[in-house]
Amino acid sequence: MSGPAVTRRQFLASSAAGGLSLAFHLPFAREAIAHGETIPELNAWVVVRPDDTVVVRIARSEMGQGTLTGLAQMVAEELGCDWAKVTTEQPTPGENLARKRVWGNFSTGGSRGIRESQDYVRKGGAAARMMLVEAAAIEWGVPAAQCSVSKGVIRHAASGRTTSYGRVAAAAARLSPPTEVVLKDPRDWQILGKRLARLDTVEKVNGKQIYGADLSMPGMLNAAIRKCPVFGGKLLGFEASVIESRPGVRKVVRVHDDTVAVVAETWWQARTALDALPIRWDFGPHLSASSEAFSKVLRAGLDASEAAIGNRNGDALAAIRESARSIEAVYAYPHQNHACMEPMNAVARFTADRCEVWTPTQNGEAALAAVSEASGLPAARCEVYKINLGGGFGRRGAVHDWVRQAVAIAREMPGTPVKLLWSREEDMLQGRFHPVTQCRLTAGLDASGNITGLHMRISGQSILAGVFPQNIRDGRDPVVFQGLNDGGAEAMIGYSFPNLLIDHAMRNPHVPPGFWRGVNLNQNAIYLECFMDEIAAATGQDPLELRRKLMGAHPKHLAVLNAVAERAGWGSPAPAINGHKVFRGLAQTHGFGSYVAACAEVSVSAEGQLLMHRIVAATDCGHAVNPQQIEAQIEGSFAYGLSAFFGQCTVKDGRIEQSNFDTYPVVRMPHMPRVECIVMPSGGFWGGVGEPTIAVAAPAVLNAIFAATGQRIRQLPLIGQSLRRA
Amino acid sequence: MKSRLNINGLDREFEADPTTPLLWVLREQLGLTGTKYGCGVAICGACTVHINGVPVRSCVRAVSSVAADEKILTIEGLSRDASHPVQKAWIALDVPQCGYCQSGMIMAAVALLREKPKPSDRDIDEAMTNICRCGTYNRVRAAIKVVAEGGDARTAGLSIQHSDGSIA
């Protein structure tokens, strides 16, 4: 076994920590370290150094969600090393390509980091352990089966001999990898499943963590950019002469056919010059587009005769028609911007035979493909170095528009590294937005208040149509039905209705959509869970009891719901807080492979002020890799999901109206409810944790608002809507 | 034109247009990239530094408005080894997620705790106006309380196991 040694990356890491220079050519080969000694890898995932420190290779991107630590825990568990001696490094997409994708998928989205790679990274750790043990056994002339391992120390009990991983690593690396690898029983886990501290915290509290926006290189120039603010518009021209004599300005660059960039010595010079640059746009065909107009299109889609079917059993429309009574409601969910705290950025360096890009990305391989395409060079002559992400949330995964721009600019100045950094305004206007949809829900009810049929008609935007149109089949976008599917391990509806129809009339505005943390689960859970509450109110049933009646065939959904209800004290009045009467609301869903539920406790004052006091949240993610980090993801999900109460992205004159946090308010400290997490892994499967809870945040609170006020909120944001008691 | 600022106890010379915001002088002229650009309009707080002990949004503060003898403190100057009590609490509770906003969060928290060593929840709400999209607010609050209560991270009840054997 051989492969890239650790030294090269040590260099990269230490250079990055210095913050001021990165090497351009990082050779992809074995290298010697300081004492003339080589450190071959045991396999793609594990390098053990002579001093017993362990390097675990991490292919997925760390953007705050903790996957770096979680993946390292999984490898370290099976490796049987000392957790205190674990460090990590990230292979590059180019290395993955050159080694026939030995590290698998780099894509970090859909809460897949842990669950999709757990099998092969654990096997990587286990195989390395077996080789280390075998090397010791050969040295001692004893059977490997007689040797045991603890914290990186190999022991042969009968002879009393011990050695360390570091001492046998070189010999182990020369052995053939085992053909059969058995993974540990979860009951024996000592590192996996524990509430371990993250590996990457210290540098995030002392200013040393380098993000893409912080990169600097010798001779580097900086670029500020503006794309036509109206989607689909074109760049007609600009008066470069107006700004060319400004201090620091080096070049004004046309980028593609719809964008202009200013390159200067510093970013501030570039940005201020760009602001002073006269630009002429052809705003294109969508100049009159508006959110109001598109809302009417969506409304019409609710009545359209044609719709793609997502889930159907029985004949819901007939059942509703023939029912004693029916209730109906129309909900809507607005466009949202990911609004990562770190705006999009990339450093690109182009020469005639090589193009390299340093960028925060959720998918290094997709970024590499974008570099290859934008540079006109084969992928083997391109490379992407993943830099720590200042937030991702889906924005930095599927579409690498900023990478293409950076390469296009770098092509104009071969040999010079150029850092493109978007302004916050550019980031807000050129987002890949949470899709906008409306939903009409209609339920048929019998005389006893039982549901005879349910119809959910979703009308609106398809992410796939905008991002991966090749995945649309017969006009149907399967991702639209997230959380509403009839079965499956990914995102299954949690209720059994005697008759059910869920369908989607696709209506795509000109606003480009994207995978926004939680994706379509967000609005689908609002629609269904709030409407379940409406049915409960209309039929005089307790919202929990109504749900329970329909969840007999969905025990895992029910278990998380029961857990939050019990912990919150559902069924007995919530104690008043500071004289405010407190009310509760429930929601549950299944998404990204995990079962989640929330019970929100809110009060609404006589003046209509909403206070979110406490949320109890439960997650069954099958196996819990690091419960304290799962809790961090659950808490963060409420901040992200509840931000839709405060802000939305609207379109006027063809462009997004909100250009900064002044017009796009998000959850801040005073809004943040206390969150009590119940992490309840039931075993037997691996679910994601970064996203599912977002979907229950809003509906749990909206249902609690109804309990408090008798008022149904059917569209977000809340801002601008009165919460006075109906 | 050369100008001078006192940053983290050192006099630093730089050249920049006087209208340049302090943030960009720190980041681009002086290589102090721990202070972040988030919004550019003094809303998100990622660029928070102290000037004479007062938290300031450096993205809207023209560098020419800072006198050479005013004491600027950035995240890099808070301690040599992440040993400031606020940093220690942040580490103990694993507060950061992506971490991008945390320099500003920490600088805001340090200023708050200097002003009010035992801040109430309301004090924290009013002082900690920084935006975090990962949603670390509850751990930020918990870490501030840990510092206020004397630094014993176990009081936060998170049961986080650290490599040195300590449990927060």
Query: Which tens digits make up the pLDDT trace of A9-58?
Result: 333 333 333 333 333 333 333 333 334 456 899 999 999 999 999 999 99
Taking CB atoms and an 8 Å cutoff, what residues of chain B touch A210? 33
Q: How confident is the model at residue B110 (pLDDT cuts 50, 70, 90)?
A: very high
The predicted structure's pLDDT at residue A38: 67
Beta-carbon neighbour count of residue A193 at 10 Å?
18
Is the Cβ–Cβ distance between B63 and B3 less than 8 Å?
yes
Task: For residues A216 and A625, give the distance between their C-alpha atoms in angstroms, rounded to a whole number.
Answer: 36
The C-alpha of B69 sits at a distance from chain A's nearest C-alpha, in angstroms, of 24
* pLDDT at position A579 over 50: yes
Beta-bridged to residue A664, according to DSSP, are none
Angle in degrees, CA A625, A599, B153, rounded to 5: 50
The C-alpha of B3 sits at a distance from chain A's nearest C-alpha, in angstroms, of 17
- Determine, for residues B33 and A19 on separate chains, whether the beta-carbon distance falls below 8 Å: yes
Taking CB atoms and an 8 Å cutoff, what residues of chain A touch B164? 84
The C-alpha of A196 sits at a distance from chain B's nearest C-alpha, in angstroms, of 5
- Determine, for residues A636 and B38 on separate chains, whether the beta-carbon distance falls below 8 Å: no
Query: What does CATH list as the number for A212-284+344-421?
Result: 3.30.365.10
What does pLDDT average to over chain A?
94
Taking CB atoms and an 8 Å cutoff, what residues of chain A touch B74? 207
The C-alpha of A513 sits at a distance from chain B's nearest C-alpha, in angstroms, of 19
H helices, E strands: number in chain B: 5, 5
The predicted structure's pLDDT at residue A21: 35
For residue B135, give the nearest of A207, A392, A639 by CB distance.
A639
Nearest to A526 by CA among A459, A461, A441: A441
- Determine, for residues A341 and B75 on separate chains, whether the beta-carbon distance falls below 8 Å: no
Task: For residues B165 and A420, give the distance between their C-alpha atoms in angstroms, rounded to a whole number.
Answer: 43
Is the Cβ–Cβ distance between A363 and A92 less than 8 Å?
no
Q: What share of chain B is helix, strand, coil (3-state, %, to 5)?
A: 35, 15, 45
Mean pLDDT confidence for B129-146: 98
Nearest to A46 by CA among A13, A17, A86, A11: A86
For residue B131, give the nearest of A19, A198, A666 by CB distance.
A666
Architecture of domain A291-336+433-709: 2-Layer Sandwich (3.30)
The predicted structure's pLDDT at residue A34: 36
Mean pLDDT confidence for A678-706: 98
Classify burial at A458, counting beta carbons within 10 Å of its beta carbon; exposed 0-12, middle 13-18, buried 19 or more. Answer: buried
Task: For residues A632 and A627, give the distance between their C-alpha atoms in angstroms, rounded to a whole number.
Answer: 9
Instruction: Tell whether B97 lies on the interface with A, counting CB pairs under 8 A.
Output: yes
For domain A7-204, give the fold: Aldehyde Oxidoreductase; domain 4 (3.30.365)
For residue A206, give the nearest of B39, B75, B124 by CB distance.
B75
Task: For residues A722 and A713, give the distance between their C-alpha atoms in angstroms, rounded to a whole number.
Answer: 10
Taking CB atoms and an 8 Å cutoff, what residues of chain A touch B75? 206-207
For residue B74, give the nearest of A207, A632, A640 by CB distance.
A207
Instruction: Tell whether B102 lies on the interface with A, counting CB pairs under 8 A.
Output: yes
Instruction: Tell whether B91 lies on the interface with A, counting CB pairs under 8 A.
Output: yes
The C-alpha of B39 sits at a distance from chain A's nearest C-alpha, in angstroms, of 5
Is the Cβ–Cβ distance between A669 and B128 less than 8 Å?
yes
**pTM for this model (two decimals):** 0.95
Classify burial at A100, counting beta carbons within 10 Å of its beta carbon; exposed 0-12, middle 13-18, buried 19 or more. Answer: exposed
Q: Which structure tokens are listed for A25?
A: 């050519």
Tell me how far apart the terminal alpha carbons of chain B are, to the nearest angstrom: 50
Alpha helix ranges (H) inside A381-520: 401-411, 424-429, 463-467
The C-alpha of A631 sits at a distance from chain B's nearest C-alpha, in angstroms, of 10
Q: What is the arrangement of strands in the sheet containing A418-421, beginning at the earlier edge strand?
A: A249-255, A259-264, A221-227, A418-421, A345-351, A354-359, A382-386
Mean pLDDT confidence for A568-593: 96
Q: Which residue of B has its CA nearest to A211?
A: B100
- Determine, for residues B27 and A214 on separate chains, whether the beta-carbon distance falls below 8 Å: yes
Mean pLDDT confidence for A631-657: 97
Instruction: Tell whether B14 lies on the interface with A, counting CB pairs under 8 A.
Output: no
Q: Is A124 helix (H, G, I), strand (E, B) or coil?
A: helix
Residue that is written with structure tokens 């210095």 in the block: A18
Angle in degrees, CA A318, A323, A329, rounded to 5: 85
Domain ranges in chain A are 7-204, 212-284+344-421, 291-336+433-709
For residue A197, give the nearest of B33, B99, B162 by CB distance.
B162
Instruction: Tell whether B57 lies on the interface with A, counting CB pairs under 8 A.
Output: no
Residue range A125-149, pLDDT digits in tens: 999 999 999 999 999 999 999 999 9
Task: For residues B70 and A171, give the distance between their C-alpha atoms in angstroms, rounded to a whole number.
Answer: 60
Instruction: Tell whether B98 lies on the interface with A, counting CB pairs under 8 A.
Output: yes
Q: Letter for the amino acid at A695?
A: A
Q: How confident is the model at residue A726 (pLDDT cuts 50, 70, 90)?
A: low
Taking CB atoms and an 8 Å cutoff, what residues of chain A touch B38? 341-342, 424
Is the Cβ–Cβ distance between A330 and A438 less than 8 Å?
yes
Sketch out chain B's domains with CATH numbers. 2-77 (3.10.20.30), 85-156 (1.10.150.120)
Strand positions, DSSP E, A34-81: 46-48, 54-57
